[in-house]
Structure formats: structure tokens, C-alpha cells
Chain A
């Protein structure tokens, strides 16, 4: 297992390096930030001054060399638009994205595992059909529409919840609820399918023959064996959330990493783009390692 993790870490570091090179040069290909930062009737002198102030007038390889030198010293440079250290801007956004993603995925995992397992156990029954219909609707409904309808119904018409923002725990309810729906729909289907396979195994029949009750059969004997594909999908969905939830962040005014990244790309704020991608990549690499550990915990064959 240690060898596996070590290999993962080395591969992740190499991937980070490749990502750094790719993102640096690709972002430079999008054009000149001075054009977007300055007004359309700005003089050429103003544009030249802006480029000189931010080192954008240097040869591209020199810019890259300086960036790498600063990067190894954990200096991501300054945001072109916000005139602040890019890493501060990114970490502030991440401080909102991490809890949003964490709470949502926590709820999704618990709900999907419990409901998916029970649906599989009652396959073909009313509960199974209900879970299947709800999960299919959830997996296919557009986030944007759900978010707007949720605001109109729960914030404006019923006045139960705030429309948007982050001031109180109540502000988190609608964003989490909207974010919850799609991954729940997907994961509950995977849990159900995986559990159906596991429940048909011989050891389950043996357990039943020995008089083991239903709930221990589901959650003690079967679930662990059904979890490997589920963890893979959970990891995939969690990685998507760590990249930010652009639509939910945009509609609910949630200051997370997704909207920051999109805005920074559109505004050519190179340093923020690079810092955001590096921090996101780091978070995803860490999560992947945790998933590898989870595989090992669940399946001794991987551990050995």
C-alpha cells in the first residue's frame, strides 16, 4: 500500500508540473490582458504601461522562468485585476468551496448509500421505483432551472429562506440542496446496481439461511463488497465539486472557486487562473490518494 501511495504522489507531482507548463502557455495564447483591463478608448501608452507594470512585455520564456522561480518559492504573483496576491484570492474562494463541496458530498454519500441499498434490497417494489424515478429526474434536471425555481418558491413566495448570499447557515440550504440533486441521482443508481450484484452472491444466501436479519445483511455483509465502484463515482463527483459549482455560485452569489476561475479566465487574470488550477489540482490529487486508501481499506487484495 505504501508503494502504491508513493507511486501516486510521484505521478501527481509530475502531473502538476505538466499542468503548470500547459496552463501557463495556453493562458498566454488567449490574448492581451491590457485590452480587457483598460477601457476601450485607453491610449497605447496606457496599454504599454500596464504590460510593463505586470511583466507582460518580457519574452514569453523569460516570463515562464520568472513564474517557475516564484512558484517554487510559493509565490503565485499578484492578481492583475484585484492588485492582491493571487494565492490569497484563490484561498479565500476555496474556503467557501471546500465546505460547500464537503457538506454536499457528505449528504449525497449518506443518502445515496442508504436509499440505494434499500432500493436494491426491495428491487421491483414501490420504494425501488420511487428512488429510481427521483434519481433519474435529479440526474437529468438542469441546475440553472432548479436554482431559479427554488429561489422563487422558497425565498420569494414562501419567504422561508434567503434568496442568496452566505451570511447565515440558512443561506447554505438552497445552494446545498441544488448541488445535492445531480450527484445524488447518479450515485444512488450506482449503489443500487452494485448492491443488486452483491446481494445475489452465495454468501448472502448463506447469511439468510443462518437467520441473519435484513439490515445487517445489507449494511454489514453486502455493502462493503458493493462499495468499490461506488467510491470511484464518488471520487469523480467530488472532483467536479472541488472545481467549483459555477452555476450554483453564480446564481446564489456564492464566492467560490468555480466562478472565480471562470471570471479570471474571461478577464485574462493569468496569475489567479494559474493559482486556482494549481490549488484545485493539489486538492484533487489529495482526494485521489484518499480514495486509493479507501480502496485499500475495503479490499485487502489491493492493500497487499
Chain B
């Protein structure tokens, strides 16, 4: 067979069915696994997306997990509201046409009429209640439950298209939180499902574990019809292979490639990906309990030197735990300047005042946290030692990293600086600031009553006041108490085939809405 004859066979999308019974496994695995049915024609509006990891679950209530969200969120399952992360429209209606604060912690949501699930049933207020019942069920461990910690929600179905949600204590960002919970029909069981039913423009038509997931466009979708008729998701963990698949025409979109393989300007996109890299500093430990030491740590780092070398060009210097697209982001903050002489001076001053600056500083970093994490960590340690600190590096696996990252922190001689990456693409700092800075925050190194009060005030505020309070808090933790060592707002790299009209953005980190993809 010549190459020209073989090529259509290689690129055709084949449907493949192997009987995975024990009998076949024992007597005919070899034969069964090489049976291929004839290729089916592929429309030029069908696309293939190659993701970095296979989905363990295709469960709507787990859609806030990024690898699941990229397939499910707003494609199969929709939410009541939707945050415009790509643009500046803020919180937008999706399955809810409008919402109103009725006071006393109660929000009323008016639902869109005429919406049908992919099983043909009509979407109504009872489905909203059931969707939340699943999230809070003790028979499931839904990820989105974490956004409602310490909040009790009571649902009152007013009529088919109206539902009241009472939050105790009052939750000013409840409409925003509604963008994190996907809607399922009332008949959905209290267990993880493998055939998700949603109101979205696509329905899952095939899931072959280990190989592919296929979504087909619904003809009866309630909204505008997207251009993409069918999406096939493949899974390859090696970035070079993902990039190569787009180059070879086997795939159209490959999110999360690395800078090393992103060598084609026509197809490779760089964009802020909502991840912020920072060193968590424990303000209770010596010597980092002294603000001059924390300032010295910040001044010791030549942040610019990392960009375009071990980190991709386009990486931005961080001045807050959240990316610039977040509510209340403070444009007046500037990253600490690289000033090793200042760092040495601050250390000397602290030492003169009795601070034991010789105490060891252990930088704890997680392997594979982001590309070149080892090189970044080694450079940080080197920079600390150049100004006079006694720093060492401890690279750990994800499970061990968690022991250092979350409370209770293990005892140490001296202190530990934990290199971590935090994701907030939700548009509001409430999803970050309590955990990272409140004295009760799980990953906080701060114990400052003023910070606690500011977080509480900003979390309870709404509108412009909320933005202003968050902005003040960003300044306080960055400039006044120097709570940590903020480093970089990271960028993502994705390869997009030239036939597509699609530009990846910060939103691509958590979801990949097929409706936003067009063709040239």
C-alpha cells in the first residue's frame, strides 16, 4: 500500500468497538483489539481536541475540575449564570434570565423558558433544586460543594420558572456561585453518572474509556446553534505528541503544550491562564516573622530574569494572588524591584535587632507543578543565598507537597517557603483570599486581625464597594505587611489548527466552549 493510498485510512475517524468480556480477554484479545469498522465520513465542521489527561468521570457536578470542565461545562451541562472571563461583560445570564436580591439573604432567579434537556424533558425550577441536592448529598463527593462551605442554602420553588435561594449567612456573590453548579434533570440519581444529561448544545454520544469521548451537536438546543457539529476528545499526556497531532492534522486544538514545542507562530497561542505562582511565607516562623526578612526575600529575586528563559515569554509579574481580570484587582501595585543590595541591608538591620538570620530556609516545591518548576526553584534558592540567606531546595511529589501547603504545617527549624500555584478564573477574589490570607485559611501564612476583618468586609460587600474593599486588601497584603513572595501570573500555551477561528484565553484553563469555536 502506497503512502497516498494509506493516508485517508490513517486520518479517518474510526469507530471502534471491542468486546471487553473476560472470555475475549482470555481467548481472543489479540483478534478483538485489531478489529476496525469502516471509517465514517467526517464533516469539515467536526473537530478533534487532544487533552493532556483522560477524564476519570464525566459527571456534571465535577465540572469545576478543569479536565472535566473542558468537556462538560457549557457544552453538555449549563449553569444558571455565566461569568464572561474572555471579555468584560461580567456575570451574564445562561439558564437564568435574571436574578434579584430579595433581601434577608434571599435571591430570586427567573429561569429561561422552553429549555429542554438532551433526554427531551423540560428544564424547570425543580431541576435546579435537585441539582443542588446532588451537590450537597452525602452519597456523592461533588467538587462544587466546596464553594458553599459554611453556607446553608434553602431552595423554594415559586413556580416552574422561578426559584428562591436563601443563603445563611447571606451570600452577596450567590449569582456568581451559580456559575459553578451545572444543572441536571430531577431524575438524575444520587451517584456519579456515566451518561450526563444536560441542557447544553451538545450531547455525549460515545465514551470509550482510555480512548475518546465524542460530543454531537443537538438539533433541539434552546439557544443559538454553534458551528462545530461534532467534537472528538482524545487524550495524550506528552505535550510534544499533542502539538504534533495538530501539526499532522490529526487534531485541531491541543491545550497545555509547553514552550519547548510551541514553535509555530501561526498556530501556537500564549495567554494568561489564571494561575499565579508564589512562595507562601509562614509569618509565625523565625526569621520570616520579621517584615524586613520578608521584604529582603522579595528584593532578592530577579523576577524578570525568569521570563523568556525558564518561563515562557508573556508571563507577567504578579502583584496579587489573583489574575488581573479579577474584581478589585489593584493597578497601582508594582512588583518589588530586584535589589540585592537592599536585601542585604534589610537582613543586616534585622540581624542587628536580634533576628537570627542564619536560620535555615527550606524552599518546598512540587515536581511537575508547572513546566520547569525545578529550574525556577533552583534559581530562587540561588538568589536567596546570594543575598545571605541559608536556603535549600526540597522537591516533593504532590501528596507530600500537600502536607507542607495546608494546615497544620509541620514543625521546622527555621522556616519553609512553599512554592505553589493558585488558580482563580472565577472572577472574584473571595475564592482565594480567605484560604490564602485569613488567619483561619487552610493555606494561609498570615495571622493578622486586620486582614481577617478586611476579608470579611469585602466578602459581605457588593458592587463597587466590594471591588474597592478587595483592592484595599490587595494593597495591604502586598505593600503593608508583605505577606508572601508573589512571583508570576502564568501563561498557557495552546496549539490551534489553522482552519479554526478560535483564540484561547484565560477561560481555556477551566473550560473549552465549543460554541466559541468557528471556522475560517
Binding site for B on A (CB under 8 A): 30-31, 35-43, 45-46, 49-50, 52-53, 79, 81-84, 88-89, 91-96, 98-99, 102-103, 148, 151-152, 155-156, 158-170, 172, 250-253, 255, 266, 268
Within 8 A of A (CB), among B275-297: none
B30 touches A36 (CB 8 A): no
Chain B 433-459 interface residues, beta-carbon cutoff 8 Å to A = 435, 442-443
Is B503 engaged at the interface, CB distance under 8 Å to the other chain? no
**Assuming the A-B contacts A92-B20, A163-B245, are A99 and B141 also in contact, with contact meaning beta carbons closer than 8 angstroms in the complex?**
no
Known: A156-B248, A162-B250, A163-B244. A40 touches B405 (CB 8 A): yes
B3 with A39: CB separation less than 8 A: no
Q: Please measure, in the bound complex, the distance between the C-alpha atom of A282 and the C-alpha atom of B59, giving whole angstroms.
A: 33
**CA–CA, A37 and B22, complex, Å:** 29
- From A36, A39, A40, A167, B16 is in contact (CB under 8 Å) with A167
Central interface residue in B59, B65, B143, B210, by most chain A CB within 10 Å: B210
Q: Is the CB of B25 within 8 A of A91?
A: yes
The 0/1 profile, CB within 8 Å of A marked 1, for residues 283-327 of chain B is 000000000000000000000000000000000000000000000
Assembly CA distance A72 to B10 (angstroms): 45
Contact B244 A156, beta carbon cutoff 8 Å = yes
Q: Is the CB of B34 within 8 A of A169?
A: yes
Across the interface, A250 reaches (CB within 8 A) one of B237, B247, B443, namely B237
B contact residues around A252 at 8 Å (CB): 241
Q: In the assembled complex, which residues on chain B have CB atoms less than 8 Å from the CB atom of A163?
A: 241, 244-245, 248, 250
Assembly CA distance A50 to B36 (angstroms): 40
- A39, A79, A164 — most chain B CB neighbours (10 Å): A164
The 4 closest A-B pairs by CB, nearest first: A255-B210, A83-B192, A99-B30, A81-B56
A272–chain B nearest beta-carbon distance, Å: 10
| B34 closest partner in A (C-beta) | A169
Residues of B within 8 A of A42 (CB): 143, 146
Interchain CB contact under 8 A, B435 and A41: yes
Q: Is the CB of B138 within 8 A of A151?
A: no
B149 at the interface (CB under 8 A from A): yes
Report if B224 contacts A (CB, 8 A). Answer: no
CB <8 Å contact, B210 and A96: yes
Q: A43-B149, A151-B244 are in contact. Are A99 and B237 (CB under 8 A)?
A: no
With A91-B22, A156-B248, A169-B36 as known contacts, state yes or no: A255 contacts B211, CB within 8 Å. Answer: yes
Among A42, A43, A83, A89, the most chain B Cβ lie within 10 Å of the Cβ of: A83
Complex: how many Å from CA A255 to CA B54? 10
A186 to B11, CA, bound (A): 35
Question: Which A residues are in CB contact (< 8 Å) with B16?
Answer: 166-167
Task: List the B side residues contacting A30 at CB < 8 Å.
Answer: 399
Which residue numbers of B lie inside 8 Å of A, CB to CB?
3, 6-7, 9-14, 16, 18, 20, 22, 24-25, 29-30, 32-34, 36, 54, 56-57, 59, 64-65, 138-139, 141, 143, 145-146, 149, 191-192, 194, 209-211, 234-238, 240-241, 244-245, 247-248, 250, 397-399, 402, 405-406, 435, 442-443
Determine the distance from Cα of A211 to Cα of B402 in the docked complex, in whole angstroms: 75
A166 near B244 with CB under 8 A, answer: no
In the complex, residue of chain A having the shortest beta-carbon distance to the beta carbon of B143: A39
Known A46-B141, A251-B241; contact A103-B248, beta-carbon cutoff 8 A: no
Contact between A253 and B235, CB atoms less than 8 A apart? yes
Please tell me if the beta carbons of B141 and A38 are within 8 angstroms of each other in the complex.
yes
Q: Which of A50, A99, A251 contacts B33, CB < 8 Å?
A: A99
> What is the CA–CA distance of A252 and B18 in the complex, to the nearest angstrom?
19
* Option from B6, B146, B248 in Cβ contact (under 8 Å) with A41: B146
**Extra contacts besides A91-B20, A167-B13, A250-B238 (16): CB < 8 Å:** A36-B402, A83-B192, A148-B240, A151-B241, A156-B248, A160-B3, A161-B10, A162-B248, A163-B241, A165-B234, A167-B16, A168-B9, A168-B12, A169-B36, A255-B210, A266-B398
Q: List, in ascending order, chain A residues with CB within 8 A of B22's CB.
A: 91
Does B141 contact A37, Cβ atoms closer than 8 Å?
A: yes
Complex CA–CA separation, A266 to B393 (angstroms): 22
> Can you offer 27 A-B residue contacts whose CB atoms are under 8 A?
A38-B146, A40-B442, A40-B443, A41-B435, A41-B442, A42-B146, A43-B149, A52-B138, A82-B56, A83-B192, A89-B209, A94-B29, A98-B30, A102-B30, A151-B241, A159-B248, A161-B10, A164-B241, A165-B234, A165-B250, A166-B211, A170-B10, A172-B34, A251-B238, A253-B236, A255-B209, A255-B210
